[in-house]
Amino acid sequence: MNGHIYILTHSRMPGLVKIGHTTTTIKERVTTINQGTGVPGNFKVFYSIELPNAQLIESVIHNKLRPFRHVTNKEFFELKPTVARHYVKRIIEELQFGIQFDESNMTIVSDTKRLGAMIKAHRKKMRMRQSDLAAAARIGIRFISDVEGGKSTAHIGKVLKVLNVLRVRVAVDSPKR
C-alpha cells in the first residue's frame, strides 16, 4: 500500500523533527496532528515523499536513526531538518535500489575523455583485456577502444553495458545552485 514518509518541523521545538508515515494525504495528517490539544502551535511539512510500503520504510528509518531519537517510543529525532532529510533520502535510496553510495569512491565525470580513462582504469583493475571486456559486454573490441579513447559519439546504451560488466554504478547528482 502506498503512503507518505514525512519530516515535520515545529517552531516551538527547535532541534527536533518528527519523522513518520501516513496512508492519508500529508495535508490530512498534519491537520490531524495540529488539532491535538497537547500541541503548542502547528507543525509544518519540511519534506515528504510518496512510496509503496511506507510503513515498512518508516520502521527502517526509525531503526537506523535510533541514536538520534529523542524518546524511545516517539517519532521525534534530535536532528536539523536538512540533516534529517539527507538521512531519510539515503535510507530510501538504499532500500529502493539496494545500494549504498560512498562519496569517497565517487568520480565526477565531466567529459568523455575522463569517462574513458575511468573505464580503462576499472578494466585494468579487474585484470581484463579489451577483448575480455568486449566479449563480456557482447560488443565489439573497437567500441571498447573508442570509449577508452574518449570518443564523444559512443552509444550510451553500450557504454552502460560496459559499466555494468565492470560493476561500476552510475548516479546523477543535481546540485543546487
Q: What is the pLDDT of residues 124-141, one digit of tens each?
A: 999 999 999 999 999 999
Residue among 74, 72, 11 nearest 39 (CA): 11
- The residue ranges of every structural domain in the chain are 2-97, 105-165
Question: What is the per-residue pLDDT for 99?
Answer: 62
Q: pLDDT tens-digit profile of 77-117?
A: 999 999 999 999 988 888 877 666 666 667 778 789 989 99
Question: What is the per-residue pLDDT for 110?
Answer: 79
Question: What is the per-residue pLDDT for 107?
Answer: 74
Q: What percent of the chain has pLDDT over 70?
A: 92
Question: What is the per-residue pLDDT for 148?
Answer: 95
1 or 95: whose pLDDT is higher? Answer: 95
Average pLDDT, the chain: 88
| pLDDT exceeds cutoff 70 at 174 | no
Mean pLDDT, range 8-26, rounded to an integer: 93
Residue among 98, 94, 101, 92 nearest 5 (CA): 92
Question: What pTM value is reported for the model?
Answer: 0.58
| pLDDT exceeds cutoff 90 at 1 | no
In CATH terms, is domain 105-165 a member of 1.10.260.40?
yes
Q: pLDDT tens-digit profile of 63-76?
A: 989 889 888 778 99
